[in-house]
Each structure stands twice: as structure tokens, then as C-alpha cells.
Chain A
């Protein structure tokens, strides 16, 4: 019995090893290492790039040992391969050969070095940005979800409100920015307002739709149980509309991020969007790229967090 088991384990380990060696991630990883270790005249060894490459490979290997199923392994491998591929192409095009404009496309090694040294400043800017984002977004969720539930549930309110939502909903919120800046006392208030408007509509409209789309049989079930208004709202309507609310909240968050950055590009003196715009004005494209990378990491982390939250809220849907 044991022998069979250990033999099975050995076969499994062997097949994992084979898959690992032959996987696209490993192939690109080796190519990238070769490229980085092969000296470029006039350049020091790219320590930061090597460290980043090693870190990505490490994360990939840890994931590989944790994830059992083939699907997860393949997905993690593809992501690693793409990251290695981008680094390889970037290094080839800017450092090994100079194939693209030197100023517009900075080399990876100094960008990474700069990223590390700029990190404290950028984190400070991030705090400012997040205050705006979180305030605007939470106000939007806090108003759009209750209003959406009310409007979706009360046919009469829906009929009264519907014409207005039809007209106001599709207005791109960016058009409010200049007016909001002029109208409101501070830049902070103006950006929070614009983020709020931008996130409000998708959340509101999806909440209303979510209530409409609750299966009629479930509402009948709730009615024959004579649930109180409160119970009905919190235990039936809200969870029933939750899938749609989550869709709206994700969309709203994307809008909020876009508007945050747009607002900062227009009127801020700190924050992550401002950082990029400020250095673009000075044609400091190294810092621009650093800022863009930083923003994408922040957005990735936020999206990852909200996806996990969504999966938790909608666990019942499998």
C-alpha cells in the first residue's frame, strides 16, 4: 500500500518536474537570465532586474508547490512567462540594442532603481489619492445601494425616477470635473464629488436591475412567509440583488480610479496621478514610467482585493 502510494507520489513529482522544465515560464526565465548575465559594454550588472526576476520566479515556484490542479499551474506559469517576456523585450530593446527612442523608453535597470528610491514619496502620494478614492467611492456605495434597492423595490418610485436616470446616467462624469473644481471650495472636495458621481451611476443602475432580476418564485416565497419589510430587505432583496450589485461596484471602482487619476491630472498637487503628470511636464520619462508601474501595481492589488470580497459575498452561487 505504502509502496504504491510513494510510487504514485514519485510519479507525480517526476511529472511536475518535467512540466516545470518544459513550461514556457522556465524557457523564458532561462533566456532572460542569459540575457541579463551576458555583459553589455558600458553597463554594470543589472542587480535590480536580477532581483526582480528572482522574486517573480520564487513566487511562481511557491504557487506551483501550493496549487495542485493543472489549471492553476498553467495560469501561474503563463503569467510568469509574460512578465519574464516583457522584461526580456524591454532589456533587449533599450539596453542590449537601442531600438527605440532613448528618452521616451528608459532602460529597465535605472527605472527599477528609481522605483525603489521613489517608493516613499509615491506611497505618501498614494495615501492622498486613496483618501479621495475611498471617500468618494464609499459615499457612492452608501447612497447608490440603498437608493437602488428602494427604487427597484417600489415600482412607483422607479417610475418617478426612471426618466431622470435615463438622462443623467450616461453623462460621462469627466465633464463635471472643471465645474466641480470651480464650484467646490477645495480640490479635495471637488475630486471626491466627481469620484462619487462617477461611481454612483453604475452601482445605482446595477442595484435597481439586480432587484428587478430577483427570481419571482423567491419573492413569492418571501411573501407567503409574511416577512417584515426589514427582514425582506436584508435577507431577501439585498442578497438577491447582490450579484448585480457586485458587478456595479466593480464597474464603479474602475470609474472611480479613472476619475481619480483624471482629477489629479487636472488639479492636484500630490497623489499618484499628479506624480505622472508632473514629471511628464518635465519630460522626466523615467519617473513617468516609474509612476505608471506603481499605479498598475496599486490597481492590481485593489482589483485582487475586491475580487476576493466579491467571491466571498457570492459564495452561494458556487
Chain B
């Protein structure tokens, strides 16, 4: 079981408060989507969950014990490309496999790596250097690497942002399949996205974050039974209702900001 809890988590870079008083608990096996405007601290929050930083105050726990550093129990897909450019794509995945399953033979590792690359639609990049792949291909290879270690927790930072609609849909299905694969030992997933519909398609609950400082504005249960069919989703009143609700919540911040701008502008016009 992998329950992840955040208690009063605050994080600042110097004097800039990036995250303020975040309280949230993801239940074991839950799929959580983080929605929020650019710069609200989603990546920062994921870094803290990954153990790459410590909160300025507050606590993050995994099954009750504090997160003190990175670990193989949490697979991470970063927002920007994170493959090692001096290794072939295959070697990148194998390196991760070696860490997670050190007992396996070289041939087995290579085979598994190739299988995961094929899963994300990359069948002939094994011997290519990351520099020879397109941005979207690199991102998919990084996803394959995170999937390959088969960790009970997945932290994904806008993993499908750079992909075309069809590839994105395929990878969403793959992710759900890997997540549901074994319902007794479901992964706990934190998934950052900008895309409201993607969040509703994937999540058990959607956390909406706001700007200045980054904080939780609302948590929304997605009450749509699985498996969720894309084509049916749009005609589902529950879907439309939730989507409008989420968009309103997201826009509350943006409108406030724009209104601020407009006031200044009109004051300028008055002069």
C-alpha cells in the first residue's frame, strides 16, 4: 500500500514562496491529477514528492514515514527531457532496469527494455542516441524508462504535453492499463497536466492549484465509472459538469489577474 500524504507543506526559493500550506492525501492506489496555471508550483510539488528537495516547513510522508530522498519506489517522468544523451535510448532504459531488478541477466534486461520501448510506440530506437530522436520520441522513451522500473508510485510531470493527439490517446490508455493491471497492487499516481479533459479521463480526483502563492484551490472527485470511453465522455453530463467546474476554478485565478491588468489599463486611459 502506498499512501502519500502532504501536511502543511510550504516551500520557498529564497524569499519567493512557491508552495503554501499544501494539505492533501492520496490514498493507496489512487490516480491523482494536478491541474494549475503555469508557475503555480506543480513541478516543485512533484520534486518534493520525488525526494529531490525538502519542504521549507511541513511534512511529506509515504505510508506514514517521511520522504527524505529519492527512491526506486517512485518512478518519475520529468517535464523536460531527462535521458542521458551519451547513452543509447536502450542503454538508458537498461540502466533503470539494472537499478530496479539487479538480478536479471543482460539479455533479459535488453529484452525488457525493448518491450517497454515498443509499448510507447518506439520499436526501432534502441540503438539510437537521444540526440537523434524527436522531442516527443525522447519524452516517450523517458516514459518507457519510468514504466520499466514498475514502481508502486508514479510521478509524472506533463508527460504527454509534447505529443500529438493520437499518440497521446494511446499513451493515456497504456498508462491506465499499467495502473489497473493488478487492482490489488494498484500504483499511486500523481499526474500533472494542463489539459482539463485529460485530467477527467484519467483521475480519481483532480487537485486544482492556484497561483501566488501556489496552493490547493479545490479537490474534485471524478465520479465517472471506468473504463471511461473517450467518445462517450463528451455526451456524459457528469463529464461536462465537472469540466465546466474545473475550468471555472482554473479561470478564477486567471480572471482575477486579468482584471487587475484591466484596472491598471483603464486608470492609464483616464489620465
Contact = CB atoms under 8 A, between A and B. Distances in A.
A220 B84 contact: no
B52 A224 contact: yes
Interface in A214-264: 217-218, 220-227, 231, 235-236, 239-240, 242
Contact of B86 (A217, A223, A316): A316
A220 B78 contact: yes
A318 interface: yes
A231 B129 CA distance: 19
Contacts of A235: 84, 87, 95
Given A240-B86, A317-B85, A317-B131, A225 B80 contact: no
A240 B87 CA distance: 11
Contact of A226 (B70, B86, B129): B70
A217 B80 contact: yes
A239 B86 contact: yes
Contact of A318 (B69, B78, B131): B131
Interface string B43-57: 000010011100000
B72 A242 contact: no
Contacts of B51: 223-224
B114 to A, nearest CB: 19
A263 B108 CA distance: 56
A227 to B, nearest CB: 7
A318 B130 CA distance: 11
B79 to A, nearest CB: 9
Interface string B76-110: 10101111111100000001100100000000000
A224 B86 contact: no
A244 to B, nearest CB: 13
B95 A217 contact: no
B264 to A, nearest CB: 36
Contact of B96 (A225, A240, A318): A225
Size range of the interface on A? 20 to 34
A225 B95 contact: yes
A88 B50 CA distance: 69
Given A235-B95, A317-B131, A318-B131, A221 B82 contact: yes
B72 A226 contact: yes
Interface residues of B, number: 26
A226 B99 CA distance: 7
B71 interface: yes
A316 B71 CA distance: 28
A224 B50 CA distance: 7
A316 B82 contact: no
B42 interface: no
Given A217-B82, A316-B129, A224 B70 contact: yes
A315 B149 CA distance: 28
Contacts of B50: 220, 224
A221 B84 contact: yes
A240 to B, nearest CB: 7
Most chain A beta-carbon neighbours within 10 Å: one of B47, B52, B86: B86
Contacts of A217: 78, 80-82
A172 B242 CA distance: 71
Most chain A beta-carbon neighbours within 10 Å: one of B70, B75, B131: B70
B52 A218 contact: no
Contact of A224 (B76, B80, B84): B76
A225 B70 CA distance: 8
A292 B119 CA distance: 62
Interface in B17-32: none
A236 B52 CA distance: 17
Given A220-B52, A223-B70, A226-B72, A236 B84 contact: yes
Nearest to B75: A224
29 contacts: A217-B81, A217-B82, A220-B47, A220-B76, A220-B82, A221-B76, A221-B83, A221-B84, A223-B51, A223-B52, A223-B70, A224-B51, A224-B52, A224-B74, A224-B76, A225-B70, A225-B72, A225-B99, A225-B149, A226-B71, A226-B72, A226-B99, A227-B99, A236-B84, A239-B87, A240-B84, A316-B87, A317-B85, A318-B131
Given A221-B84, A225-B99, A227-B95, 13 more contacts: A217-B78, A220-B78, A221-B78, A221-B83, A225-B70, A225-B95, A225-B149, A226-B70, A226-B72, A239-B84, A239-B87, A240-B86, A316-B129
Top 5 A-B pairs, shortest CB-CB distance: A221-B82, A239-B86, A316-B86, A224-B76, A224-B70
